[in-house]
Amino acid sequence: MIAPLDTLARRIQEAVPGARVEVVPNDSPAAQPSLLVDSAHALAIARFLRDEPSLRFDYASNVAGVDWLDSVTKTKTKVKKIVDGVEKEVEETVETKRPGYLEVVYHLYSMNLKHGPLIIRQRTGNRAELNRVASLISVWRGCEFQEREVYDLYGVVFDGHPDLRRILMWEGFKDHPMRKDYVQPDDFEYEPTPHDEVLGRAKEHYPK
């Protein structure tokens, strides 16, 4: 069994000095928390996770990308204020802005000790020019194609990847199709039963 994630995070910080490791809680029904690691130390952390005898995460089953857009969360708080000399409770909304970023998620298992998954994440600085994270191929060879796919579909650049080319789309393709703000070529065609998003496009193309 893997130790609770905060214990594991502490062990990582002891083993890799200077590493920033953060537990990302997950309040969805999956309830599967993960570790956010910083890209500067990701390779050393990965090596530690693989080589440490009590962890031995020797298998990275899956590498996925996530696109997080800029978001604004509004929280309402009740504040006491003095209005016209009378104390009243007033609702105030506080806006917290979170700039967008891209995320790469690795699912790790140990074939040897039969435990897992451990989920680690790397984040880019933003969604534009700060789009670099560390490639973990030198630790898990099987990440090669999957990191290429994340590069292709999300535009995350992996430092240290020996062969970072597009894999599903062609060289010369400019977009990253899995990004949430990807604009498809305008090639909608008639469908007899359009619905949801496709219904909107159907109305644009076939107004009658």
Partner 1 sequence: MDEGLRSELSKQGIFTTTLEDLYNWGRKNSIWPLQFGLACCAIEMIATTMARYDLARFGAEIFRPSPRQADLMIVAGTVTKKMAPQVVRLYNQMPEPKYVIAMGACAISGGPFKQGYNVLKGIDRYIPVDVHIPGCPPRPEALIHAFMTLQRQIDEQKLTGPDRPRHLVADAPSEFPVPQFGEHDLVPSKNPEVWQPPHSGRTE
Instruction: Using CB under 8 A, list all residues that contact partner 1.
Output: 168-175, 177, 182, 184-185, 187-191, 198, 201, 206, 208
Smallest distance, partner 1 to C-beta of residue 163, A? 18
For partner 1, the closer CB: 111 or 199: 199
Other beta carbons within 10 Å of 139: 23
Show the beta-strand stretches assigned E in 28-146. Answer: 34-37, 59-68, 71-83, 86-98, 101-110, 115-123, 132-134
- The partner residues of 81 in beta bridges, in order of sequence, read 88
Which is nearer to partner 1, 89 or 171 (by Cβ)? Answer: 171
Q: How far is CA 85 from CA 81, 82, 88, 89, 90, in A?
A: 9, 6, 9, 13, 14
Q: Which is nearer to partner 1, 4 or 182 (CB)?
A: 182
Find the shortest distance in angstroms from Cβ 166 to partner 1: 9
- Of 59 and 188, which CB lies nearer to partner 1 in the complex structure? 188
Question: Minimum Å distance from CB 208 to partner 1?
Answer: 5
87 or 171: CB nearest partner 1 = 171
Q: What is the C-alpha separation between 135 and 147, in angstroms, rounded?
A: 8
Q: Which CB, 98 or 203, lies closer to partner 1?
A: 203
* Count of C-beta atoms within a 10 Å radius of residue 33: 14
Measured from the CB of residue 173, what is the shortest distance to partner 1 in angstroms?
7
In angstroms, the CA 20 to CA 28 distance is 24
d(CA 121, CA 100): 15
Measured from the CB of residue 66, what is the shortest distance to partner 1 in angstroms? 18
Minimum CB separation of residue 26 from partner 1 in Å reads: 29
Residues 6 or more apart whose Cβ sits within 8 Å of residue 103: 65, 66, 67, 68, 121, 122, 123, 124
